[in-house]
Amino acid sequence: MKNIKALVLLAVAVFIVEGTAQENSIDLFTVPLSNPQSAGKLVIDQISGSISVEAYDGKEVVIKASFGGEHDHDDGHREKKGLKRIKSSSLNIGAEEKDNVVHVINEQWNKATHLQVKVPKDFSVKLSTVNDGDISVKGISGEMEITNVNGEITLEGVSGSATADTVNGDVKVDFQSITQDANMAFSSLNGDLDITFPNSLKADVKAKTDMGDIYTDFDLKVAANQPEVNQNSSSGTYKVKIEQWVRGTINGGGPEMLFKTFNGDILIKSK
């Protein structure tokens, strides 16, 4: 038998007759941890909808959701041969816990499901969504791996380390404290990067924006760009180029902090 502490499945069917799409909110479930005194991890990977995670004083993972607005490509025809169309907003979400790792399984693909999750403070997260939602994390301490496509990423009052990547949206992070030896990366294609670190930050910085500017209130020691040489002895080719990366050190240097956006500004701030 697999050592699974909790396996929780929920299926709710709600029917709406005619009218506009209606948003519904529901308390889903509470998931106990195998070892409540130890650190845990939350994993959510969904197609559509926002994800909000907040630390609290409890020892369990509490999950709520709101949903509505199916992507059903309605063409305006409400009747078919005298039959009235019934809109379904069924919900199919599960959660599995093993060894303090809670995996939320969201099988909704045709509607946006907005998840609100409370976790103990000492918790890592791995979160991703694609459409119709932002990702926010507040107050936790751990490793954070955040991926979005069409939405913003906001980490507020967090501690530990983070990687955050989105395509269309801003990335905003406010660290209370950081893991001293952890490399981090923050990127967007169309959006600003606004990252606040403790003023004791020691880092090797690598930053690039094509259509914006880079700002900082740290004493960043900027290094001169050096040509990158690639010589292939077998083919006899010699290539040299300079990339428009800003490279430098903060407080003598440390782990690598990478910041990259195409259409946006980069703000590296101290507190």
pLDDT in tens, 22-56: 456 788 899 999 999 999 999 999 999 999 999 99
Q: Could you read off the pLDDT of 140-183 as tens digits, one per residue?
A: 999 999 999 999 999 999 999 999 999 999 999 999 999 999 99
The per-residue pLDDT for 197 is: 98
pTM: 0.82
Question: In terms of DSSP bridges, do strands 246-250 and 203-209 run parallel, antiparallel, or are they unpaired?
Answer: antiparallel
Q: Which residue has the tokens 């902090």?
A: 257
The per-residue pLDDT for 225 is: 74
The per-residue pLDDT for 32 is: 97
17 versus 38: the higher-pLDDT residue is 38
Instruction: List CB contacts of 76: < 8 A, sequence separation 6 or more.
Output: none
> What are the percentages of helix, strand and coil residues in the chain, rounded to 5?
0, 60, 40
Helix and strand numbers (H, E) in the chain are 0, 27
pLDDT at 99 over 60: yes
- Domains of the chain from N-terminus onward: 6-70+85-270 (2.160.20)
Mean pLDDT of 79-88: 66
Of 162-166, 203-207, 222-226, the poorest mean pLDDT is in 222-226
Q: What is the CA radius of gyration of the chain?
A: 23
Which backbone phi and psi does 261 adopt, to 5 degrees? -145, 155
Residue type, 56: Y
pLDDT at 202 over 90: yes
pLDDT at 67 over 50: yes
pLDDT at 227 over 90: no
Identify the band that residue 87 occupies on the pLDDT scale cut at 50, 70 and 90.
low
> Is the separation of the CB atoms in 239 and 166 below 8 Å?
no
What percentage of the chain reaches a pLDDT higher than 90? 67
Question: In terms of DSSP bridges, do strands 246-250 and 193-197 run parallel, antiparallel, or are they unpaired?
Answer: unpaired
Q: Which residue has the tokens 């703000």?
A: 267
Shortest CA distance to 218 belongs to which of 250, 180, 186, 193?
A: 250
Mean pLDDT of 220-232: 77
Which backbone phi and psi does 217 adopt, to 5 degrees? -110, 5
Mean pLDDT of the chain: 85
User: In the beta sheet, which residues pair with residue 26?
Assistant: 65
Mean pLDDT of 219-241: 76
User: Is residue 159 left, alpha or beta, with left meaning phi > 0 and alpha meaning psi from -120 to 50?
Assistant: beta
pLDDT at 192 over 70: yes
The per-residue pLDDT for 107 is: 82
The per-residue pLDDT for 112 is: 84
> Is the separation of the CB atoms in 238 and 231 below 8 Å?
yes
Residue type, 139: G
Tell me how far apart the alpha carbons of residues 163 and 186 are, in angstroms, rounded to a whole number: 6
